[in-house]
Amino acid sequence: MIIVLKPGASARQEREIFREIHRLGYKPHPIHGVARTVIGAIGDERTHKTLETLTTWPQVESVMRVQKRYKLVSREAHEKTSVVKVAGLELGGRKIQVMAGPCSVEGEKQLLTTATAVAKAGATILRGGAFKPRTSPYEFQGLGLKGLKLLAKARRETGLAVITELLSEQHTEMVAEYADIIQIGARNAQNFQLLVSAARTKKPILLKRGLSMRIEEWLLAGEYVLSSGNSRLMFCERGIRTFESYTRNTLDLCAVPIVKAESHLPVVVDPSQGAGRADLVSAACKGAVAMGSDALLIEVHPNPREAWSDGAQQLSVDQFAQLMKELKPFIAAADRE
Amino acid sequence: MIIVLKPGASARQEREIFREIHRLGYKPHPIHGVARTVIGAIGDERTHKTLETLTTWPQVESVMRVQKRYKLVSREAHEKTSVVKVAGLELGGRKIQVMAGPCSVEGEKQLLTTATAVAKAGATILRGGAFKPRTSPYEFQGLGLKGLKLLAKARRETGLAVITELLSEQHTEMVAEYADIIQIGARNAQNFQLLVSAARTKKPILLKRGLSMRIEEWLLAGEYVLSSGNSRLMFCERGIRTFESYTRNTLDLCAVPIVKAESHLPVVVDPSQGAGRADLVSAACKGAVAMGSDALLIEVHPNPREAWSDGAQQLSVDQFAQLMKELKPFIAAADRE
Amino acid sequence: MIIVLKPGASARQEREIFREIHRLGYKPHPIHGVARTVIGAIGDERTHKTLETLTTWPQVESVMRVQKRYKLVSREAHEKTSVVKVAGLELGGRKIQVMAGPCSVEGEKQLLTTATAVAKAGATILRGGAFKPRTSPYEFQGLGLKGLKLLAKARRETGLAVITELLSEQHTEMVAEYADIIQIGARNAQNFQLLVSAARTKKPILLKRGLSMRIEEWLLAGEYVLSSGNSRLMFCERGIRTFESYTRNTLDLCAVPIVKAESHLPVVVDPSQGAGRADLVSAACKGAVAMGSDALLIEVHPNPREAWSDGAQQLSVDQFAQLMKELKPFIAAADRE
Amino acid sequence: MIIVLKPGASARQEREIFREIHRLGYKPHPIHGVARTVIGAIGDERTHKTLETLTTWPQVESVMRVQKRYKLVSREAHEKTSVVKVAGLELGGRKIQVMAGPCSVEGEKQLLTTATAVAKAGATILRGGAFKPRTSPYEFQGLGLKGLKLLAKARRETGLAVITELLSEQHTEMVAEYADIIQIGARNAQNFQLLVSAARTKKPILLKRGLSMRIEEWLLAGEYVLSSGNSRLMFCERGIRTFESYTRNTLDLCAVPIVKAESHLPVVVDPSQGAGRADLVSAACKGAVAMGSDALLIEVHPNPREAWSDGAQQLSVDQFAQLMKELKPFIAAADRE
């Protein structure tokens, strides 16, 4: 930790801060510059509850952290790239996995048609929301348990693994019973109770980035999962909120190489939520693959025009099959499978 | 709902959209302009699950909503300003209520000292976190039930009402037993399961604005509370996330007159979280009062330098007493008490 | 400057960085922590062209600035609050000055009607755009020289001082001939050539905050004015761009106390641009006064419905007169005139 | 244009708005819904100075645009993709052009070394700043005319075309004399006087996206170039400002397919400015190519550690040569050359 004193801080004030630094368990090292004194304080910042309180002293201008706040998710702690295994599949290995399926599970026919089609086109994991977080209480909230059972049926019939979102601690056991991967959505990305509850099921977790989450905060949310004893975590970039209104969100593809450098865990990209427009999904998937994504999460519906949620961003099964073909040369260029 | 067709859409394509509009339960009215055809579709948009799917048709350029999406929270539905009654106090009436207390409940002495001091200075409601949402799992997470019991004790000794944050559906009953007002924090502002769970306790709810929440989304989150049968809701502005880094958040004080115009419910401002710096709290409180806030939520600690969380934004009890004095002429200027 | 080395940097790598720090003209002071070495480098950072290049060394994790980058505008350099004198008026003194007038100068009658009315209601400075920066080339671009002459005429008839925007270095002399204060608009806030050109006229400058300008960048843009030999500078907060769409911009009123603490120069608030909606101007003016603004910049039009630009945010002359009355108790509460 | 009346607007108020719509040159078509009346107004919105003023009428709830505001840059007006020809090169054709060179021109040796190296590695256009917009007046501001002459010399020796930034109308002729492409930087993206001045030279223009520019505003800024009689325009995505601080800007790669769909003009990506970190440039270039960019603008320096500006984001010549090799399979995957 670095403490910058204000210009003109007296010797007495400096001693005061020295004592406080000692009290907090650090060892102070002063550097006297021309205009200011800077104090380096040696100690482990990650277990210290609140460095910023030093700024409450009138003689302190600013406090700067030296260490990163995350540990278990960081590559510093775990140099080797982690591969997350899910139902015989590897996330973060050479093969780029494609998770595809409808935004919401709407019924048996809709789900099985989609599942069969995406499996045929090369997807290995089926997505589908049984519990849906909706901005308005008057919108469709998902089929709940019935949706989970349909997902399980689709798994039996197609061999696809299943990913679905967990919205409430009340449902953790139920969702864990049916899902191969538990998804934590953007709105719950800092719902730490839910994260810990999901982590304890020992199921693999896909953690979406919150709408206005800094990468550091995202990694720290992941730290809640690993520090709860579950290391099967994937980070999923799905766009952040900005002033731009042509797209629903701004897909931050640079987050892919950054998270892969900072962390040892796999990174997934969701271009459907990320752009919010079906016509951009294909380009965004190509960009995601080129920038190092380990997997893609794509919304596919047999008839997007009749979708009960987010129709504007879902691909038809034909568009999805076409996309899978177009992705091949980019996957090869990225030296992946 | 307004549907704008692309220039060059054929008569057949227009008929297609007409049929679809009828299928969705609306009545279409076309207007043929020079370059484009626009279709007005009459019907109740608020109960319709997904208007945007019309953009999946190739001949549709854009779809625009006409109605607002919120009902019960809106002033359109409820012209008269609502006053929320809490333990004999009125929120949204002529008197500006001040909620004050420590960021976290840390112990009996810390809490009682603060409670006594803020009551003496004129606060009527005691704030204090027993469950704390922390960015890092290595930071202090709150005293839990012990914290709630200390809040109840402080209430008995000072007569202050108590507001505290609810973080998990698992704790809803416990928190409702001890709190006079249940606070839903910024990170959970779109945790709809938690909102509904809190609403069902029939306790008054203070709903903080999410870090990147548009006002429309905030009002719709409030709609979850009212549509669950609880109309004692307050909206609390606490700053939004922007690119500016001098302050932890950007306090959006214009949200106060906007929410008071759009909704009939009281508005509270939290300048401590909003600015994240103790030296800005006084100015922000004055601005909040001047712009029509019904209440203030202020962090106060007997010794901010030793606070276990967010020390940099907490006022000392002396600073708080001084602030309460300075606020008086502004409260009078705003024609409040 | 603080240089944080990566964990595991070798002694040789540390010596390498030592040599580089010396080469850059700083004196290095190492602090060896448990996991990392931190080097404090003493020297004047403000005249050093580029500290960040040190991050190009593989052993460097990060570089942190200790000094603030601005000098002449800072209160550190100039402790006493500056008052800017304009045509016998004081900006930054006890009296809150009100600048009012139409968004664009549209014609003699429109301007004189407005000028007479705002003078009568208590404004002391007339605003009016003769050159207008418009998002689209198909929108009204201002009357140019004719507009400037009308402003001069209005000044003669009412005694009001005149503020108007400078858009192009080609017009600097012309605008300086007619204006008492030269306004640099948000879109040109980092057009440094224009800033220097305006500064050299020795006229007082009002520098609006850019749409996505951090406060540090805003102060540094002001530094261009002072370092060009012109110390009559005012900063004008006019809202920043965020994701919120209820208002055209998000008025950042906390910037007022921050800039007044960081700098010795006056601060002005423009609630008309800041909120972009006439119905919010009154509340925003009250908030600005309460939070310490030295002046207000308000758009007023004799008939906003027929305004050639930004009609939705202009007050009528009656609304303006009403606002001036309502502001009085807030000005008194802020202990101003 | 669509005008939504407030619920409860009277028949008289509706007639009033009818008259106003007629006065503005539109033809009104009312649609009476259950709760609200909506009026479609037929006419050309693009030449109309200010639709929003209708919101000043008390009975109007909102006004919505139907037409897009840009004309000449739009694909609606010019269906065929435009290719911009520069010194025998085609921008927007099958071949992806690479523009490379130092952030700032620092001297003859630095520039010629870089130019020779980037030409050898496959770049066809040399970039280099002679006039530099710097946040602080104390940072290096560029060599000016001397820098332009060095760029011309490098062109003679390598055959590369030259792109350089124009900062001031005072320099337009001078820069046009030496440059093959005139760059308008992010900070000047809405400096319309500069845009028009550059356009009139008839040189090709590269228009960077402003830090907080919506795509619509960017296209409208381009409209200033085309409406000044210069159709050789390229749009350059270089990242937007968001809350994220791991990168200097957030590179919005989805802007590439969007601008290519909305407009007929070429799109360039600047990953150096976009990410602000050399270690992300390679991934960002691959993403840009995969998402359809027509060209790349990359900062390269013979010794980034000694660069006078932005050292942290410049590649060394070896890193650049390596990148050019790695890009090949992605260029082939995108079916480009």
- The full DSSP string for B74-129 is BTTT--SPP-EEETTEEESSSSPEEEEE-SB---HHHHHHHHHHHHHHT--EEE-B
Distance from C-alpha of A337 to C-alpha of D289, rounded to nearest angstrom: 20
Whole-number pLDDT of residue B33:
81
Distances (CA, A) of B182 to B178, B295, C105, D145: 9, 15, 53, 66
Task: With CA atoms as reference, report the closest residue to B271 among B230, B311, B228, B315.
Answer: B315
- DSSP for C254-266? THHHHHHHHBSS-
Taking the Cβ of residue B305 and every Cβ of chain A, the question of whether any pair is shorter than 8 Å is answered with: yes
Interchain contact, B170 vs A190, CB within 8 Å: no
Least Cα separation, residue D17 to chain B (angstroms)? 18
Q: What is the structure's pLDDT at D51?
A: 67
Look at B83-92, C33-42, C117-126 and tell me which has the smallest mean pLDDT.
C33-42
pLDDT tens-digit map of B98-118:
999 999 999 999 999 999 999
> C47: pLDDT confidence band, cut at 50, 70 and 90?
low
Q: Fill in the DSSP letter of residue B231.
A: -
Question: Do the Cβ atoms of B255 and B293 come closer than 8 Å?
Answer: no
Task: Please give, rounded to a whole number of angstroms, the shortest distance from the CA of C159 to a CA of chain B.
Answer: 31
Answer for the pair D169, D194: CB distance below 8 angstroms, yes or no.
Answer: yes
A320 membership: H or E segment, kind and range: helix A317-333
Q: How do beta strands B37-42 and B27-32 pair?
A: antiparallel
Q: What is the 3-state secondary structure (H, E, C) of chain D?
A: CEEEECCCCCHHHHHHHHHHHHHCCCEEEEEECCCCEEEEEECCHHHCCCHHHHHHCCCEEEEECCCCCCCCCECCCCCCCCCEEECCEEECCCCCEEEEECCECCCHHHHHHHHHHHHHHCCCEEECECCCCCCCCCCCCCCCHHHHHHHHHHHHHHCCEEEEECCCHHHHHHHHHHCCEEEECHHHCCCHHHHHHHHCCCCCEEEECCCCCCHHHHHHHHHHHHCCCCCCEEEEECCECCCCCCCCCECCCCHHHHHHHHECCCEEECHHHHHCCHHHHHHHHHHHHHCCCCEEEEEECCCHHHCCCCHHHCECHHHHHHHHHHHHHHHHHCCCC
Q: Which positions in chain C touch D223 (Cβ < 8 Å)?
A: 136-138
Q: Which of the 8 DSSP states describes residue A180?
A: S
Measured between CA atoms, the residue of chain B closest to residue D4 is B66
A·B CB contacts under 8 A? 135
Q: Residue A272: pLDDT above 90?
A: yes
Looking at chain D, which residue has its C-alpha nearest residue A239? Answer: D252
Chain B, window 137-176: residues with a beta carbon less than 8 angstroms from a chain A beta carbon = 137-140, 167-170
Judged by a CB distance cut-off of 8 A, whether residue B307 touches chain A is: yes
Cα-trace Rg, chain A: 23
Chain D, 204-263: which have a CB under 8 Å from a chain B CB?
A: 241-243, 245
This prediction's pTM = 0.95
- Report, as an integer, the average pLDDT of C128-156: 94
As given in the structure block, the two tokens for residue B151 are 């809040």
Please, which residues 8-67 of chain B have a Cβ atom closer than 8 Å to chain D? 29, 31-36, 38, 40, 42-44, 64, 66-67
User: Any CB–CB contact under 8 A between C136 and chain D?
Assistant: yes
Distance (Å, rounded) from C-alpha C47 to C-alpha C43? 10
Please judge whether C56 and D304 are an interchain contact, meaning their C-beta atoms are less than 8 angstroms apart: yes
Chains with 3+ CB–CB pairs under 8 A to A are B, C, D
Of A328, A323, A320, nearest to A127 by C-alpha is A320
Task: Give the confidence band of A283 by pLDDT, cuts at 50, 70, 90.
Answer: very high
Q: Which amino acid is at C198?
A: A
The pLDDT assigned to C130 comes to: 97
Q: What is the mean pLDDT of chain A?
A: 93
Mean pLDDT of chain D: 93
Which contiguous run of DSSP H or E holds residue C32? strand C27-32
Cβ pair D279:A261 closer than 8 A: yes
Nearest to D142 by CA among D115, D173, D109, D164: D164
Find chain D residues with C-beta within 8 A of B64's C-beta: 2, 64
CB neighbour list of residue B139: distance below 8 Å, 6 or more residues apart: A49, A50, B132, B309
CA-nearest residue of chain D to B28? Answer: D31
Model confidence over C264-316: pLDDT tens digits? 999 999 999 998 889 999 999 999 999 999 999 999 999 988 888 888 889 99
Question: Which chains border D (3 or more CB–CB pairs < 8 Å)?
Answer: A, B, C
Helices (H) and strands (E) counted in chain C, each on its own, are: 10, 14
Q: Residue window 72-131, chain C: list those with CB within 8 Å of chain D.
A: none
Q: State pLDDT tens for residues A80-107.
A: 999 999 999 999 999 999 999 999 999 9
Q: How far is A43 from chain C (nearest CA, A)?
A: 7
Distance separating alpha carbons of residues D331 and D337, to the nearest angstrom: 6
Q: How far is CA A302 from CA A111, A319, C29, D92, D187, in A?
A: 8, 10, 65, 36, 46
Specify which of A56-65, B55-64, D20-29, D185-194 reaches the highest per-range mean pLDDT. D185-194
How many Å lie between the alpha carbon of D334 and the closest alpha carbon of chain C?
Answer: 32
Residue pLDDT, tens place only, B181-207:
999 999 999 999 999 999 999 999 999
Selected for mutation to probe chain B from D26, D31, D61, D241 (highest B CB count within 10 Å) is D31
**In 3D, which of D227, D199, D214 has the Cα closest to residue D259?**
D214
- More confident call, D150 vs A33: D150
In terms of CA atoms, which chain D residue is nearest residue A250?
D252
Mutation target among D244, D294, D327 for the A interface, most CBs of A within 10 A:
D244
Is the pLDDT score of C45 beyond 80? no
Share of chain D above pLDDT 70, in %: 98
- Rounded to an integer, what distance in angstroms lies between the CA atom of residue A271 and that of residue D253? 12
Q: A177 at the B interface (CB within 8 A)? A: no
Query: Which residue ranges form the domains of chain A, and what is each CATH number?
Result: 2-64 (3.30.70.1140), 84-333 (3.20.20.70)
| Minimal Cβ distance to D138: which of C47, C170, C310 | C47
CA-CA distance, A95 to A295, in Å (whole number)? 8
* Residue C3 exposure: Cα atoms within 13 Å on the Cβ side: 28
Tokens encoding C169: 């270095």
- In 3D, which of B269, B284, B336, B286 has the Cα closest to residue B96? B336
B/C interface, count of CB pairs below 8 Å: 120
pLDDT over 90 (residue B1)? no
- Contact criterion met (CB < 8 Å) for A224 and B137: yes
What pLDDT, on a 0 to 100 scale, did the predictor assign at position A311? 79
Give the pLDDT confidence score for residue B48 in this predicted structure. 59
Q: Is any Cβ of chain D less than 8 angstroms from the Cβ of A325?
A: no
The pair of three-digit structure tokens given for residue B182, joined into one six-digit string? 């249940």
CA distance C268 to chain D (A): 22
Q: What is the ipTM of this complex?
A: 0.94
Instruction: Report the relative pairing of strands B37-42 and A233-237 from DSSP bridges.
Output: unpaired
Nearest CA in chain C to D23: C306
Are C296 and C288 a contacting pair, CB within 8 Å?
A: yes
- Place A49 in a pLDDT band, splitting at 50, 70 and 90: low
pLDDT reported for residue B327: 98
Token code pair at residue C219: 């102060």
Q: CA end-to-end span of chain A, whole Å?
A: 44
What does B25-93 look like in DSSP terms, one character per residue?
A: T-EEEEEE-SS-EEEEEES-GGG-S-GGGGGGSTTEEEEE--S-S--TTBTTT--SPP-EEETTEEESS
Q: Which two tokens stand for residue A179?
A: 């899902």
Q: What is the pLDDT of residue C139?
A: 84
Neighbours of C174 (CB within 10 A): 16
What kind and span of H or E run contains B223? helix B215-226
Inter-chain contacts counted by CB atoms under 8 A, chains C and D: 135
DSSP A150: H
Å between D147 CA and nearest CA of chain A: 33
